[in-house]
Structure 1
Amino acid sequence: MMIDSHAHLELPEFDSDRDEVIARAKEAGVDAIVTIGIDLDDCLKAVEIADRYDMVYAAVGIHPHEVKVIDRQTYDRMRDLAARPKVVAYGEIGLDFFRNLSPRDVQIRRFGEQLELAQDLNLPVIIHDREAHRETLEILSSWKGQRRGIIHCFSGDYAMARKCLDLGFYISIPGTVTFTKADTLRDVVRRVPAESLLVETDAPFLTPEPHRGKRNESAYVKYTAMRVAELKEMKFEELAEITSRNASEIFSIKL
């Protein structure tokens, strides 16, 4: 049993062979995939894909790169999409101060607004944090809503991970844990309890070894799970079961 807690099956990289990608994931032992929208069009496509495939679920939200185009109608449309039966989370939302494709002040304001929307919708949140650790923690710490969700593609150190855990969030580990220079992430994996971990691909990005350099896909989540199990000195099957149980609980997915 495995769950790929974060993929982007709606992106055009999968338009030519989406059926085969999902079939390969199932053959690799993946029981569920959560595909994550990043703007309104992609959110609609993610929901449609989730409706088409039994093992696929969707999350909807406006990525920090795209929040500069939010207008008065955006959140009404997000509410409509979030009401669809296979939508299991709101996200990915947050801050990206690496590329700064939306102004920082806009990112911060929209992050707060979307946290409140997720609270209204009673959905867990999927948090994007790139080069914005301090600001992300400040916003999450001051948020008065019910703190439940996932720090996607975790890129901080253990001190940050500990603060996220104390706030009630899961830590999601991407394929970068297999990279040679990912010592900080491996330290996080060793020290964070398995009961607080998820595994993800972020497909088509961040392809793990031994396929690094190729397009990522959900079947490859097993390589991340295998490395996490090794670091935690656990059997792969045990680690896969625990992380899948974590994902099924936060997303309310019944397997």
Structure 2
Amino acid sequence: MANKRSHGRAGDPPPLPEALPVPVVDNHTHLDIVLDAVPGTPEEALAKAASVGIDRVVQVGVDVASSRWSADLADAHPGVLAAVAVHPNEAPMLIGERFEAALAEIDELASRPRVRAVGETGMDFFRTQGSDELARQELSFRRHIDIAKRHDLALMIHDRDAHDDVFRVLAEEGAPRTVVFHCYSGDVSMAHKCAEHGYYMSFAGNSTFAKAQNLRDAATAAPRDLLLVETDAPFLTPSPYRGRPNASYLVPLTVRALAEARGEDLTELCTALSDNSERVYGPW
């Protein structure tokens, strides 16, 4: 199971939402874990998403095995692109030759044509603690930045309780041409800082939660041309289905919540979100 996180989702999958007027991308999903939570085939999951206007996805790896699976899935399906990495909570468990071997394979996978991002990588001060573990996590982040720059791929960042240090490392290493803060968790001030650097901000289902006004405020502050949307499925199922299994077909719930928070026309926002995704990852 990716990142050794229990999917922890109970109950039946939520019903299909109303389709979006313009197709949009799920910029971050873990379809391998989705299919563990709700058995089925990738084809069925992708078709279900496409039926409500989510016609493209970015399938994200969190270790060597899931990154390889992601790259293979992208090769097999025209609506899928892949991101490959060792997750920041996995990296501290890899020491010495195991770490070097894992990074070498991520580097090799990054050369495949339908791998368009290095991620998810970054820093996580919530699950990973202890000076040695955090040092190895930071080293891994730096190495992933190097891989992204050498392959000219987007860098997909996992940032949990580590905003200042993530920005510090990006500044010290020199950020790749394209940076995405996956499952954006900062405030309005950080949104302005991301905008200054041209970093993309990808909002997930947690931005719909009743107590997440801070995320909706940040989404409102983000320039439209730096805005993305994602599921992080099967996690962070949008309201009103929080706690049930998440999947790409539920992106419309988040998109509609973002349109309402920003006071924007839904069709115009969908068009912008689609254009932004193609600018980050290239054509599907």
The structure-2 alpha-carbon separation of the partners of 1:147 and 1:54, relative to structure 1 and needing over 3 Å to count, comes to closer
Q: Does 1:24 align with 2:48?
A: yes
The structure-2 alpha-carbon separation of the partners of 1:147 and 1:85, relative to structure 1 and needing over 3 Å to count, comes to closer
> 1:199 is matched with which residue: 206, 229, 232?
229
> 2:115 is matched with which residue: 83, 87, 90?
87
Correspondence list, 1:28-47, <5 A = 28-47=52-71
Correspondence list, 1:85-234, <5 A = 85-100=113-128, 103-234=133-264
Shift of 1:79: 2.1
The answer to which of 70-79 and 168-177 deviates more is 70-79
Q: C-alpha deviations, 1:189-245, integer Å up to 9, x for none?
A: 111121110000000100001222211000111111111111111121111110110
The normalised TM-score by structure 2 is 0.85
> 2:80 is matched with which residue: 40, 43, 56?
56
Q: Are 1:137 and 1:164, in contact at CA under 8 Å, matched by a contact in 2?
A: no
The structure-2 alpha-carbon separation of the partners of 1:220 and 1:138, relative to structure 1 and needing over 3 Å to count, comes to same
Q: Which residue of 1 aligns with 2:3?
A: none
- The amino acid across from 1:154 in the alignment is Y
Shift of 1:16: 3.1
2:26 aligned counterpart, secondary structure: strand
1:43 aligned counterpart, secondary structure: helix
Whole-Å separation in 2 of the counterparts to 1:46 and 1:123: 16
Q: Which residue of 1 aligns with 2:32?
A: 10
- The amino acid across from 1:131 in the alignment is D
Shift of 1:124: 1.0
The structure-2 alpha-carbon separation of the partners of 1:78 and 1:110, relative to structure 1 and needing over 3 Å to count, comes to same
Q: C-alpha deviations, 1:61-87, integer Å up to 9, x for none?
A: 111011121522222211221122211
The structure-2 alpha-carbon separation of the partners of 1:14 and 1:149, relative to structure 1 and needing over 3 Å to count, comes to farther
Shift of 1:131: 0.9
Whole-Å separation in 2 of the counterparts to 1:146 and 1:40: 22
Q: Which has the higher contact order (CA 8 A, sep 6+)?
A: 2
Q: Are 1:8 and 1:35, in contact at CA under 8 Å, matched by a contact in 2?
A: yes
Percent identity, aligned pairs only, is 36
Contiguous gaps of at least 5 residues in structure 2: 1-22
- The amino acid across from 1:155 in the alignment is S
Q: Are 2:59 and 2:82, in contact at CA under 8 Å, matched by a contact in 1?
A: yes
Shift of 1:4: 0.4
Whole-Å separation in 2 of the counterparts to 1:215 and 1:50: 23
1:146 aligned counterpart, secondary structure: coil
- The amino acid across from 1:141 in the alignment is A
Shift of 1:47: 1.1
Q: C-alpha deviations, 1:103-135, integer Å up to 9, x for none?
A: 111111111111111111111100000011111
1:98 aligned counterpart, secondary structure: coil
- The amino acid across from 2:79 in the alignment is M
- The amino acid across from 2:163 in the alignment is H
Q: C-alpha deviations, 1:33-74, integer Å up to 9, x for none?
A: 001000000001111111222211101011101112152222
The structure-2 alpha-carbon separation of the partners of 1:140 and 1:204, relative to structure 1 and needing over 3 Å to count, comes to same
Contiguous gaps of at least 5 residues in structure 1: none
Shift of 1:179: 0.4
- The amino acid across from 1:25 in the alignment is A
Whole-Å separation in 1 of the counterparts to 2:76 and 2:53: 20
